[in-house]
């Protein structure tokens, strides 16, 4: 009988944890992450190291090979072969030569505005802190801190998304529209977003419909508690979504689970208005920390896998400017200050020229002690700001159902 070998094809990557005898196959073609039991992990491991099929002495070997072949995940060969796994971009990150221009996916700008809604969750830790509204006391106000002086330097970086957040942005009145319009003038390709509570948006629409610029996209924060048998709120809310659907470029609702209300009806109502997406943010409490999971598995294509191989799944491509001029790697990493635009003449030279940003952008999950052996680390999305808040350690990990608490 002819000796043969078996290899996973170029779209499928085996990730192993030898200590725990765990493994998973990442299918970069259809996005599946296939968790393997101990027997499958053992057999596939030996086959991938180049063992002849006949030398892999396990009763499940024929079944495993047949199943993977039928699903086009792997193939038998008459000789040992090597096939480079599918990837996009360069084999390794550039080192020793001039770096390419940074790609900024999200640049957050905190506005010096307050909020009078007094929501119960406002100062609570939640699972999507960067896309929920806040009411931090600003050290500056808009009269003393003119963002327009810094916009050209920010928009020279051509960020894909510029996100304005903090308090009630519409308190700025025409200054908000001027800010948005200047951003579009300086970088036409940049998408401008505002994070706001739905009640602020409703008030703005009722006050003056024409005074809401069409260049805007909105993350609309929606506390679940606002819809506890409150028909008046429901009518106002639907009026708001109907308006933004036809007026703004796009909108993404962010439901905050600040009550035990069932949100399925709310979710169904929202989807009628065709939002660009929808997020659900959980509130962290000591009583629910076991349900508050900060590790979310996503479908993994070629870009996602190699992005997470080298970089942090969320921090990479993110910068934030606070209302007092500090540049942070994330709007909720308050103590991780990269530069101060009020005192540094060339803040971005310091951040990118000296590569200080790499500490955060290149913080792939393999550098985090509790994550480094996890077979799901290349398909995991987490908020590092939440972990930093709970552990006081940039490399800490507390909230994960896979590694335990």
> Running DSSP on this structure, what letter comes out for residue 244?
H
Calculate the dihedral angle through the C-alpha atoms of 254, 176, 106, 296, rounding to the nearest 10 degrees. -10
Question: Could you tell me if 204 and 255 lie in one domain?
Answer: yes
Percent of the chain surpassing pLDDT 70: 90
Report which of residues 98 and 308 the model is more confident about: 308
Residue 2 pLDDT: 66
Q: How far apart are CA 135 and CA 165, in angstroms?
A: 10
Please check whether residue 307 lies inside any domain of the structure.
no
Residue 137 pLDDT: 62
Question: Could you tell me if 125 and 73 lie in one domain?
Answer: no
Residue 365 pLDDT: 96
Split at pLDDT 50, 70, 90, the class of 27 is: very high
Question: Could you tell me if 118 and 168 lie in one domain?
Answer: yes
Please check whether residue 388 lies inside any domain of the structure.
no
Please check whether residue 175 lies inside any domain of the structure.
yes
Question: Could you tell me if 206 and 266 lie in one domain?
Answer: yes
Report which of residues 396 and 344 the model is more confident about: 396
The pLDDT tens digits for 378-394 are 999 999 999 999 999 99
Question: Could you tell me if 154 and 198 lie in one domain?
Answer: yes
Q: How many CA atoms lie within 13 Å of 33's alpha carbon, on the beta-carbon side?
A: 20
For residue 325, the Cα-to-chain-centroid distance in whole angstroms is 24
Question: Could you tell me if 144 and 213 lie in one domain?
Answer: yes
Residue 99 pLDDT: 64
Q: How far apart are CA 343 and CA 85, in angstroms?
A: 47
**SS3 per residue for 316-377:** CCEEEECCCCEEECCCCCCCCCCEECCCCCCHHHHHHHCCCCHHHHCCCHHHCCCCCCCCCH
The pLDDT tens digits for 248-261 are 889 999 999 888 77
Residue 344 pLDDT: 81
Residue 35: domain span: 5-77
Q: How many domains does the chain have?
A: 2
Calculate the dihedral angle through the C-alpha atoms of 140, 146, 150, 154, rounding to the nearest 10 degrees. 80
Q: What is the domain-level CATH number for residue 160?
A: 3.20.20
How many residues are present in the chain? 405
Once rounded to an integer, what is the mean pLDDT over residues 300-309?
94
Segment among 315-324, 337-346, 356-365 with least mean pLDDT:
337-346
Q: Would you give the end-to-end CA distance of the chain in angstroms?
A: 52
Segment among 139-148, 150-159, 206-215, 264-273 with least mean pLDDT:
139-148
Please check whether residue 383 lies inside any domain of the structure.
no
Once rounded to an integer, what is the mean pLDDT over residues 326-345?
91
**Cα–Cα–Cα angle for 198, 200, 204, rounded to 5 degrees:** 115
Once rounded to an integer, what is the mean pLDDT over residues 75-87?
91
Please check whether residue 156 lies inside any domain of the structure.
yes
Segment among 53-67, 134-148, 185-199, 323-337 with least mean pLDDT:
134-148
**Cα–Cα–Cα angle for 150, 155, 159, rounded to 5 degrees:** 130
Question: Could you tell me if 229 and 344 lie in one domain?
Answer: yes
Residue 143 pLDDT: 46
**Nearest Cα residue to 179 out of 148, 143, 139:** 148
Split at pLDDT 50, 70, 90, the class of 270 is: very high
Q: Are 56 and 46 in contact (CB under 8 A)?
A: yes
Question: Could you tell me if 111 and 47 lie in one domain?
Answer: no
The pLDDT tens digits for 110-150 are 988 888 898 888 888 889 999 998 877 655 554 445 677 78
Once rounded to an integer, what is the mean pLDDT over residues 317-338?
94
Question: Could you tell me if 115 and 72 lie in one domain?
Answer: no
């Amino acid at each position: 009988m002819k000796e043969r070998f078996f290899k996973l094809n170029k779209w499928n990557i085996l990730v192993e944890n030898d200590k725990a005898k765990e493994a998973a196959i990442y299918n970069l073609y259809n996005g599946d992450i296939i968790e393997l039991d101990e027997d499958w992990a053992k057999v596939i491991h030996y086959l991938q190291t180049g063992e002849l099929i006949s030398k892999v002495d396990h009763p499940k070997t024929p079944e495993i090979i047949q199943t993977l072949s039928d699903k086009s995940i792997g193939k038998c060969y008459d000789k040992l072969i090597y096939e480079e796994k599918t990837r996009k971009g360069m084999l390794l990150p550039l080192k020793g030569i001039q770096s390419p221009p940074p790609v900024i996916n999200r640049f957050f700008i905190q506005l010096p505005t307050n909020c009078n809604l007094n929501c119960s969750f406002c100062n609570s830790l939640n699972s999507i802190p960067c896309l929920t509204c806040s009411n931090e006391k600003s050290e500056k106000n808009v009269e003393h801190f003119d963002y327009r002086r810094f916009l050209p330097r920010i928009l020279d970086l051509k960020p894909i998304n510029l996100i304005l957040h903090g308090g009630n942005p519409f308190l700025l009145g025409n200054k908000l529209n001027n800010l948005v319009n200047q951003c579009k003038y300086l970088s036409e390709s940049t998408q401008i977003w505002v994070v706001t509570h739905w009640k602020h948006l409703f008030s703005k629409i009722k006050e003056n419909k024409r005074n809401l610029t069409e260049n805007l996209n909105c993350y609309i924060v929606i506390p679940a508690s606002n819809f506890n048998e409150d028909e008046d709120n429901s009518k106002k809310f639907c009026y708001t979504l109907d308006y933004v659907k036809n007026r703004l470029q796009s909108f993404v609702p962010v439901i905050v689970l600040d009550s035990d209300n069932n949100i399925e009806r709310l979710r169904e109502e929202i989807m009628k208005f065709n939002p660009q997406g929808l997020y659900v943010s959980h509130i962290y409490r000591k009583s629910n920390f076991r349900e508050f999971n900060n590790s979310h598995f996503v479908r993994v294509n070629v870009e996602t896998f190699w992005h997470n191989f080298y970089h942090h799944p969320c921090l990479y491509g993110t910068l934030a400017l606070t209302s007092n001029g500090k540049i942070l790697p994330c709007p909720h990493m308050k103590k991780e200050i990269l530069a101060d635009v009020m005192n540094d003449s060339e803040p971005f030279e310091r951040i990118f020229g000296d590569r200080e940003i790499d500490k955060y952008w290149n913080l792939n999950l393999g550098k985090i002690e509790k994550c480094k052996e996890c077979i799901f680390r290349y398909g995991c999305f987490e908020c590092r700001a939440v972990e930093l808040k709970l552990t006081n350690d940039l490399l800490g990990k507390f909230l994960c159902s896979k590694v335990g608490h």
